[in-house]
Amino acid sequence: MANTTQIEAHSVGKMFGDFHALRDVSLDIKEGEFLSLLGPSGSGKTTFLTMLGGYQNLTSGKLLLEGQDMTNWSAKQRGFGMVFQGYALFPHLSVAENIAFPLKVKKWSKAQMSARVDQMIEMVGLSGHAHKKPKALSGGQQQRVALARALAYEPKVLLLDEPFSALDKNLRGQMQEELRRLHRDLGTTFVFVTHDQEEALALSTHVAIFNQGALQQIGTPSEVYEHPANRFTAEFLGDINIMSLDAEKGGVAGTKIDLPTNASAFDHIALRPEHMRLAGETDVNKLPVTVRDMVYLGSKSRLVLETKAGEELMFYIDNGPGLPPPDLGAGLHVAWDTGDSFAL
Amino acid sequence: MRPYLLLICPVLLFLGASYLLPFLGIVQLSFTDPDPGFAQYGHVLSDPLSLGVIGRTLRLCLIVTVVSVTSAYVITLLWVRGSPLVRMITELCIMIPFWISILSRAFGWLSMLSNRGLLNTWLQDLGLIDSAIQMTRNEFAVVVGMSHYLIPFAVFPLATAMRNVDERVLTAADGMGASRLRIFWQVYLPMTASGIMGATLLVFVFSIGFYVTPALLGGGQSVLVAELIYLWIFQIPQWGMAAAMSVVLMIAVGGILYLLIRRYEDVTP
Ligand SMILES: Nc1ncnc2c1ncn2[C@@H]1O[C@H](COP(=O)(O)OP(=O)(O)OP(=O)(O)O)[C@@H](O)[C@H]1O
Ligand SMILES: [Mg+2]
């Protein structure tokens, strides 16, 4: 996988009337990367993706492709593959004809075209469905046709707008696996829009988190999950416990705690629930808490704990043999490694 | 016994009484008046006059259908995809004709197209022609008049089909580099085929029964089936012949409809 920068966005902005759909988004996409654009509904993901593809104009900023300014190129000139939200298959054409359409436009020879179409149909596992119309296919199969069509002419970049949002959970998992395999096998750059955190973390090499039109953070899944840049990212990416620092910034809820190095500049520290454990003899950070609620979840139970300062923490315990669940109102000590906590 | 059958009984009775019974009367007439048997049908289907009229009717109605559906397609495109102003103007142009009776419209075209009508006068004033061009009392006038009447009807099935086109499909085709021409012929047109089929059916069936427009604008030069039936009922009373002709027409339309509808099912997405 070459490590060269393929696409650069410089201070990209988009306005609809006087509404800022995107403001000042700058990011780099490396060749062969699998970048997920993640954010709540209306955060500007689709807008950014369609601007990358050349389907919408920028209001400000510029886009570079391999160092060349592509801001004013049409979608055709950029030549990226795109899988639209809702697939956008040609309803009157068969699976094979759908996949052949972009090749016909590019004037491939008949022989090349049919070989390529067969290869793509094989690749997405639709052999035997080549002559069906889209309406005769299931949602997952239509999804594969859209993928095959977008990948048929080997675009340098594939853009996908929530390709799995219409699929049920099992099929979704299966398609995610296939998309990962495709990405591994082809080495094409994928830019993938989703509002599903788990999907983004599981699939991508990089995640860009958007909120209200602004880029919050970009990094590898573990970077953004374990070291969120701000409170929004921290809360958006999963369960998080946030505790206020004491006035003199020496600990939490009256207990002295070993704090992350930059804590003095902030008011809170945050911690993922899975980084918390029941305190043992040797632990340094021991926080006394009270059990306020417990929810049985099968292999685990989720506890709601309350600190001396009245803040609630989420905590999971395994329901193993010989571990009696704590009673409501009981006191416990929880602990964590300083490196797992971060200041916010 | 399915209860809903009971509920639709009144409708069936009403339809039976108002359509089926009179039609059976016509069928009966066609086999009995004046001679019992197939004599009337024999005549209708062998007499050069009536055969000519049937042939001319089918030919003219086909032309009218093609002209109407094609023009309606363009108008509907403007109505569905135009700028807000274009849309509003087109909508008015589609709606206004519905408020004008078929008779006034035929007279309107007469005053437009006749030898001393608007068009000929203008052309002569501009010095483009020396003497009036014959634009009424012929098939041209009939096609113009009938198409003008039928276009608004063709607009609605077309508009439904066009509104159902997923915009993203067009964007996708565009992004793949397809030219506008290719997108129209290979994507948009096939995606609206169900509307074209619907409009074609509607216009064709309507056009077969036209009486006023061809009578006025054709000026007796291009007699169509409906006029001939009228003639056989009111001028030279031959009710059996008129009835037989009606039945033949009915079967012809039914057959064509059947063929078109079978095709229609193929194209509906
Ligand atoms: N053509 C447009 N005209 C006006 N506003 C628009 C237009 N397209 C998008 N917006 C607005 O821009 C904002 C971002 O929209 P966008 O479609 O990019 O969101 P998204 O992150 O893709 O959301 P979702 O997850 O719901 O698809 C939204 O508030 C939306 O209402
Ligand atoms: Mg979106």
A232-255 residue pLDDT tens = 999 899 888 988 888 777 788 888
Q: Which helix (H) or strand (E) holds A260?
A: none
- Residue that the structure tokens 């915009």 belong to: B167
Residues A218 and A259 in one domain: no
Task: Name the domain boundary from A234, A257, A290.
Answer: A234
CATH code of the region B43-267: 1.10.3720.10
| Res. B74: pLDDT tops 60 | yes
Q: How far apart are CA A161 and CA A155, in angstroms?
A: 16
Residues A185 and A272 in one domain: no
Determine the residue of chain A that is closest to B268 in CA distance.
A92
**Contacts B187 to A, Cβ<8 Å:** 90
Ligand nearest to the CA of A59: 1
Q: How far apart are CA A82 and CA A102, in angstroms?
A: 12
- For residue A240, tell me if it sits in a domain: no
Structural domain harbouring A140: 5-234
Return averaged pLDDT per consecutive 10 residues of chain A, 344 residues in all.
83 94 94 94 93 94 94 92 91 95 94 94 90 92 92 91 84 86 91 91 94 95 89 89 82 82 82 87 84 88 89 87 77 87 84
Q: Say if CB A101 and CB B173 are below 8 A apart.
A: yes
Residues A256 and A223 in one domain: no
Has this prediction a pTM greater than 0.90?
no
Q: Could you tell me which residues of chain A have a Cβ less than 8 Å from any Cβ in chain B?
A: 53-55, 75-76, 79-80, 82, 84-86, 88-93, 101-102, 105-106, 133, 135
Q: Could you tell me which residues of chain B have a Cβ less than 8 Å from any Cβ in chain A?
A: 166, 168-169, 171-178, 182, 186-187, 190-191, 193, 267, 269
Q: How far apart are CA B123 and CA B169, in angstroms?
A: 47
Residue at A143: amino acid letter: Q
CATH number for the domain spanning A95: value is 3.40.50.300
CB within 8 Å: A84 and B178: no
CATH number for the domain spanning A295: value is 2.40.50.140
Residue A343's pLDDT is what? 84
| Res. B263: pLDDT tops 80 | no
Structural domain tally of chain A? 2
Per residue in A180-236, pLDDT (tens digit) is 998 998 889 999 999 889 899 999 999 999 999 999 999 999 999 988 888 899 989
**Contacts B172 to A, Cβ<8 Å:** 82, 84, 88
Residues A11 and A157 in one domain: yes
Residue B81's pLDDT is what? 94
Q: How far apart are CA B160 and CA A241, in angstroms?
A: 53
Task: Name the domain boundary from A234, A266, A290.
Answer: A234
Q: Out of A46, A52, A85, A193, give the residue to mutate to test ligand 1, the one with the largest number of ligand atoms within 8 Å of its CB.
A: A46
Q: Say if CB A194 and CB A37 are below 8 A apart.
A: yes
ipTM: 0.80
Residues A217 and A264 in one domain: no
Ligand 1 nearest atom to the CA of residue A210, by list position:
21
Q: Say if CB A44 and CB A22 are below 8 A apart.
A: yes
Residue B236's pLDDT is what? 86
Q: Ligand 1 site: residues with CB under 6 angstroms?
A: A 16, 21, 39, 41-47, 195
Which protein residue's CA is at the shortest distance from atom 24 of ligand 1?
A41
Residues A311 and A209 in one domain: no
Residues A178 and A59 in one domain: yes
- For residue A190, tell me if it sits in a domain: yes
Residue B268's pLDDT is what? 59
Residue A310's pLDDT is what? 86
Residues A290 and A215 in one domain: no
The rounded Å distance from CA A43 to ligand 1 centre is 7
Residues A81 and A186 in one domain: yes
| Res. B70: pLDDT tops 90 | yes
Residues A296 and A188 in one domain: no
The rounded Å distance from CA A46 to ligand 2 centre is 4
* Beta-strand relationship, A277-278 and A286-296: unpaired
Confidence of residue B269 (pLDDT cuts 50, 70, 90): low
* Beta-strand relationship, A206-211 and A214-219: antiparallel
**Contacts B169 to A, Cβ<8 Å:** 88-91
Residue A227's pLDDT is what? 85
Chain B closest-CA separation from residue A161 CA (Å): 12
Residues A317 and A178 in one domain: no
- For residue A239, tell me if it sits in a domain: no
CB within 8 Å: A90 and B169: yes
Radius of gyration of chain B (CA): 23
Task: Name the domain boundary from A214, A234, A254.
Answer: A234
Determine the residue of chain B that is closest to A150 in CA distance.
B176
